[in-house]
Amino acid sequence: MMTDREPMPGTVLLSAQDIAAIVARLGGEISRDYEGRLPILISLLKGGVVFLADLIRQITIPHHIEFLQVSSYGGSTTSSGQVKILTDLEMSIQGRDIIVVEDVVDTGTTLAYIMEVLRLRNPASLEMCALLRKRSANPVAIPVRYLGQEIPGRFVVGYGLDYRENFRHLPFIAALEPDPAAS
């Protein structure tokens, strides 16, 4: 359906309090599982930075952080299926324990590509942590070891997630309304 109305954050799916509880749980799980090791958390720019910043303050064991920027969506709200590395990691991950920190898994195309690229660099281990996973129609199978919450297959913004670079600063996660991807 065509509309003249500019899409805006509408229904709140996760409040700031909901997110804090999820992040605390994930931080606890990672702290327990990686006790005695020195994992590298790789945040995917830009959407993953707010999540990473909160997550590392809920992790009680020593760890390092790195950033990776890939592009798949451009200005669109549906996955283009094409991924490319825009900014690469600074450090070597060979022999290291890696946790990729992603904001939302939609089709899984982005994470599948990143896992493939990182695996070729011979880390000791490679796991995924995602705040959100959509119940997508045709997802690529991605084993997300640390999952925050499943959400409906709607376009969401806030807590790092953007619509055309807007709304990343919102402390909650809301559905964009009207949904620009809906037909």
> Which positions are annotated as active-site residues?
106
Query: From the list Mg ion, ligand IMP, none, which binds 43 (C-beta under 5 to 8 Å, kind-based)?
Result: none
Residues that bind ligand IMP (rule: CB under 6 A) add up to a total of: 19
Is there binding between residue 9 and ligand IMP (CB under 6 A)?
no
Stretch that binds Mg ion, among 9-17, 46-54, 75-83, 87-95 (CB under 5 A): 46-54
Stretch that binds ligand IMP, among 6-14, 54-62, 118-126, 151-159 (CB under 6 A): 151-159
Please select the residue that binds Mg ion; options are 47, 48, 158, 160, rule is CB under 5 A.
47
Q: Cβ of residue 106: shortest distance to ligand IMP, in angstroms?
A: 3
Query: What is the 3-class SS of the chain, one letter each residue?
Result: CCCCCCCEEEEEEECHHHHHHHHHHHHHHHHHHCCCCCCEEEEEECCCHHHHHHHHCCCCCCCEEEEEEEECCCCCCCCCCCCEEEECCCCCCCCCEEEEEEEEECCCHHHHHHHHHHHCCCCCEEEEEEEEEECCCCCCCCCCCEEEEEECCCCEEECCECECCECCCCCCEEEEECCCCCC
Q: Cβ of residue 162: shortest distance to Mg ion, in angstroms?
A: 6
Q: Select 47 or 123, whichever has its Cβ closest to Mg ion.
A: 47
Q: Select 39 or 47, whichever has its Cβ closest to Mg ion.
A: 47
The binding site for Mg ion (CB under 5 A) comprises: 47
